[in-house]
Amino acid sequence: MLKSKPAEKNRETIMLKAVIDTNVAVSALLSPSGNPAQIIDCIFEEELKPCFCSKILAEYTNVLARPRFGFSAEDQAHVIEGIKKYGEQIEPPPYDTHFTHEADQVFYEVAKSAGAYLVTGNTKHFPDEPFVINPAKCVELLSAIKENAAVQKGRSSSSNSESS
C-alpha cells in the first residue's frame, strides 16, 4: 500500500501543484514502486498538492472500482481520500479547447485554472503545453524541489551555526 502519514518536514517547502490524471492513479496502484506511486506518495508527504474537481473525483471513483483492476476498496479509498484531504478542489470554467477524449478536458481545465501541472501517462491526449507532463518529469521536478530545500536548509543551518 502507498504511504498514508505525512513525513515531518519544514512547512516552508515549496509545494508542487498538479492535477493527477486517472491513468497515473491506476498505475500507482498497479506498480507500487513506479513513478506514479512516488507521485501519490508525495501527496501524503505534502510535497505535492493535487488539484481536482467533482468530475475528476467521480472519474477516479468509477475507474478505480473497475473489476478488471482488482483494487481493494481500501486501496481505492486510500488514494481518493488522500487526494481530497491534501488537495485543492477547483471547479473550473470551461475552456474553448477540443479534445478527442472528452473526459480528458476537465483535467486540462482544472490544471489551467489552478496554474498547476497536469500529470498524465497520455500526454498525446492533451494540447502541447509546458504544464502537461508525464510521471517521470513530475518525479524529476519533485526531486529537484527536495534537493533545493535540502540545500537551503543546509545554508540556513550553517548560517545559524556561524552566528552562535
pLDDT at 158 over 70: no
Q: Which domains does the chain have, with CATH numbers?
A: 16-163 (3.40.50.1010)
Distances (CA, A) of 104 to 65, 80, 97, 141: 19, 18, 11, 23
> What average pLDDT does this structure show over 122-149?
94
Question: What are the pLDDT digits (tens) for 31-70?
Answer: 999 999 999 999 999 999 999 999 999 999 999 999 999 9
The neighbour count for residue 141, using CB atoms within 10 Å, is 16
